[in-house]
Amino acid sequence: MIEFKGFPERIKKYTPIPNVVFSSLLPQITDITELKALFYFFEILYPKKGNVRFVSHQELLGHFNRASDFQGQPQSFPEILQQSLKALVDKGVLLHLALNDNGIIEDVYFLNNETNRLVIERIRNGDMVLPGLKPESPVPICMEELPDIFTLYEQNIGMLTPLIAEELKEARANYPETWINDAIKEAAALNRRSWRYIARILENWSIEGKDNGTYRGYPKKNTDPDKYIRGKYGHMVQR
């Protein structure tokens, strides 16, 4: 093993990793080669430009094909990489698509998010064409993804701690997930970035009704012209 000499004083290149990888995904990964494949995927994907970004199997193989990565491994580089990528697809981390590049089949991988799921669907339907490439055959898309409320919380509120994760799970058991999504977005829009504020929104919606606005501190005016002729004393009110 080559000894690591430490980091240079000035690091010019960085590869960003989404926080949700550390908070929700990392505990699910127990195989070190699977983790390496994921990190190499991000390293290759990040510098790419354009609306449609993916990483090919050959690109990953070029990064992954390092003897030090596989010391003591009985399988070949391609076999280990293929197993690692399949595991990431099965977990819902990556999306796989087989493309035909002038008669040569190329496996490519996308980050599993809503945009890329739509992109793959458009490619399969022929609504989107990549230069020189076409889908080899219909490929089932893994629709499993990290829970939206956890991802949305990290994107809009802050770090997802184990305690917050438990609070979100409990909220999901008590409220519709669309409510939780809307509450997170509302808290972010009002710059009240805390779980406590989100929980208060949900509590008020459950009591007052989701669309009446009372959690904001100003009840929506009731413009119903019949509001005074219903109820116990309705017979005493004339139109």
Each residue's pLDDT tens digit, 27-82 = 888 888 888 889 989 989 888 887 788 988 888 887 765 545 555 554 566 778 88
Does residue 216 have a pLDDT over 50? no
More confident residue, 51 or 108: 108
Number of structural domains found in the chain: 2
Say how far apart CA 13 and CA 205 lie, in whole Å.
46
- Residue 228 maps to a domain: no
Lowest mean pLDDT among 7-21, 31-45, 130-144, 184-198: 130-144
CATH number of the domain residue 85 falls in: 1.10.10.10
Count of C-beta atoms within a 10 Å radius of residue 55? 22
Q: Are residues 128 and 163 in the same domain?
A: no
Same-domain pairing of 195 and 162: yes
With residue 96 as reference, give the H or E element that holds it: strand 94-101
pTM for the whole structure: 0.52
Contact (Cβ atoms closer than 8 angstroms) between residue 222 and residue 213: no
Are residues 34 and 96 both part of a single domain? yes
Residue 5 has pLDDT above 70, yes or no: yes
Question: Do residues 131 and 157 both lie within one domain?
Answer: no
Reported as half-sphere exposure (CB side, CA atoms, 13 A), residue 179 has a value of 19
pLDDT at 221 over 60: no
Query: Which residues are paired to 76 by β-bridges?
Result: none
Q: What is the pLDDT of residue 197?
A: 92
Quick one: pLDDT at residue 161?
A: 78
Q: Which of 98, 109, 163, 165 is nearest to 133 (CA)?
A: 98
pLDDT at 119: 85
Q: Which is nearest to 54 in space by CA: 126, 132, 106?
A: 106
Domain that residue 185 falls in = 148-216
Q: Are residues 121 and 34 in the same domain?
A: yes
Query: Which tokens belong to 121?
Result: 């669907």
Q: What sign does the CA torsion over 45, 50, 56, 58 have?
A: negative
Specify the pLDDT at position 212: 54
34 and 128 together in one domain: yes
Q: Which helix (H) or strand (E) holds 62?
A: helix 57-64
Do 95 and 54 form a contact (C-beta atoms < 8 A)?
A: no
Look at residue 217 and tell me whether its pLDDT is greater than 60: no
Give the residue from 113, 135, 157 where a domain finishes.
Answer: 135
Which burial class, exposed, middle or buried, applies to 196 when counting CB atoms under 10 A from its CB (0-12, 13-18, 19+)?
A: exposed
